[in-house]
């Protein structure tokens, strides 16, 4: 049996029990892959059993973790552990008290209230925990992209990371794949121009492009970007989310005290480069315009989530309303640009 001496890091990854907690599929899969890779580095013949919650019946864990004649290393993965039956949970809790040697149990748990007793018991028993939270905020996805470049030992400018998030969207697997491709194909620091060359088509279809053109008052360009986005499969709910973020950023910055971008960034929770962008976008806005735009976004959001018959029309109406609101200051002056 091929074996290697375990390093301290490997020994930590190969703790008797690992719980991966959260609902981000890519991170959950990586947590499993990390354990499997460490186990196979220690023993190339490691046996991996990957089970769904319904496959782990009462008594199954005892069978999988019983002593082997050949003393082989084993990794037992249980997905959706929050859905285990009450009797199976009893088995798993009992196992925490006396885990088998040469076996690593990996439980993937959504982290919500369901099955919380199992999660609490694992933590109390000293299980190794890996956080795998769903990344719903653009700032989280931006941090993820930066982390991916660091993980691969490469540098990318803040503008490049943002452009990649704007171009690809919310799918972490696609973001990770895009980072890997750029790292493999491009030498030196990756900048915004490089991302643009690779993902121009995607960037044009980005929900954030629709939002940027709308809050800048460029209705025709916003509508063109909207139709292109929808035709290339961008989910309407992502577009309403981007519109909401764009209008809220205008509202936050317009009501904030003056100061340096770095100070405002800390106060408003935005990166400094975004402060500069929003400052340029907010020139035609008034408080009443922000209120009108927020109502339009709320109506569009309801429309794309089943409250209307035509999500595309709901989005078009919102884009036009926001673009007009972006020119409300000019309208008050009698500006007919």
Higher-pLDDT residue of 139 and 10 is 139
- 1-10, 165-174, 198-207: which range is least confident on average? 1-10
Name the residue among 46, 219, 84, 168 with its Cα closest to residue 95: 84
Domain count for the chain: 3
Q: Give just the sign of the alpha carbon dihedral 326, 329, 335, 336.
A: positive
Domain containing residue 180: 138-199
56-113 confidence digits (pLDDT tens): 999 999 999 887 656 578 999 999 999 999 999 999 999 999 999 889 999 999 998 9
**pLDDT for the residue 195:** 87
Q: Does residue 336 form part of some domain?
A: no
Q: Give just the sign of the alpha carbon dihedral 154, 160, 161, 165.
A: negative
**Residue 337: C-alpha distances to residues 226, 227, 262, 290 (Å):** 23, 24, 33, 20
For residue 144, the domain's CATH number is 1.10.8
Band the pLDDT of 201: cuts 50, 70, 90.
low
Query: What is the mean pLDDT of the segment spanning 247-252?
Result: 88
Helix axes 236-255, 207-215, angle to 10 degrees: 40
Same domain, 222 and 288: yes
Same domain, 27 and 122: yes
- Model-level pTM greater than 0.75? no
Give the neighbor-by-neighbor strand order of the sheet with 103-109: 47-51, 74-78, 103-109, 17-22, 128-132
Same domain, 110 and 151: no
Q: Does residue 162 form part of some domain?
A: yes
262-281 confidence digits (pLDDT tens): 666 666 666 666 777 788 88
Q: Does residue 192 form part of some domain?
A: yes
Percentage of the chain modeled with pLDDT above 70: 85
What is the rounded end-to-end Cα distance, in angstroms, of the chain?
A: 78
Nearest-10 Cα torsion for 192, 194, 197, 198: -110
């Amino acid at each position: 049996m091929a074996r290697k001496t375990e390093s301290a890091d490997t020994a930590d990854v190969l703790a008797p029990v690992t719980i991966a907690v959260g609902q981000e599929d890519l991170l959950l899969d990586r947590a499993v892959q990390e354990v499997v890779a460490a186990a196979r580095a220690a023993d190339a013949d490691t046996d991996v059993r990957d089970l769904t919650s319904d496959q782990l019946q009462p008594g199954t864990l005892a069978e999988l973790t019983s002593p082997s004649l050949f003393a082989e290393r084993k990794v037992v993965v249980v997905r959706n552990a929050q859905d285990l039956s009450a009797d199976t949970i009893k088995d798993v809790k009992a196992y925490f008290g006396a885990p088998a040697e040469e076996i690593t149990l990996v439980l993937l748990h959504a982290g919500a209230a369901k099955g919380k007793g199992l999660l609490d018991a694992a933590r109390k028993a000293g299980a190794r925990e890996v956080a795998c939270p769903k990344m719903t905020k653009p700032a989280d996805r931006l941090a993820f992209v930066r982390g991916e470049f660091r993980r691969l030992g490469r540098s990318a400018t803040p503008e490049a990371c943002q452009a990649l998030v704007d171009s690809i969207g919310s799918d972490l697997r696609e973001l990770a794949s895009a980072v890997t491709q750029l790292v493999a194909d491009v030498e030196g620091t990756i900048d915004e121009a490089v991302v643009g060359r690779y993902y121009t088509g995607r960037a044009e279809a980005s929900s954030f492009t629709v939002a940027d053109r709308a809050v800048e008052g460029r209705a025709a360009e916003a509508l063109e970007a909207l139709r292109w986005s929808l035709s290339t499969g961008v989910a309407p709910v992502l577009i309403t989310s981007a519109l909401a973020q764009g209008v809220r950023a205008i509202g936050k910055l317009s009501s904030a005290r003056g100061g340096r971008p770095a100070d405002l960034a800390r106060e408003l929770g935005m990166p400094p480069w975004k402060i500069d962008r929003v400052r340029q976008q907010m020139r035609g806005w008034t408080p009443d315009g922000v209120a009108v735009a927020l109502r339009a976004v709320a109506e569009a959001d309801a429309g794309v989530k089943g409250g209307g018959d035509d999500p595309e029309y709901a989005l078009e109406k919102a884009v036009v309303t926001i673009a007009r609101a972006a020119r409300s200051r000019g309208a008050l002056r009698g500006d007919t640009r």
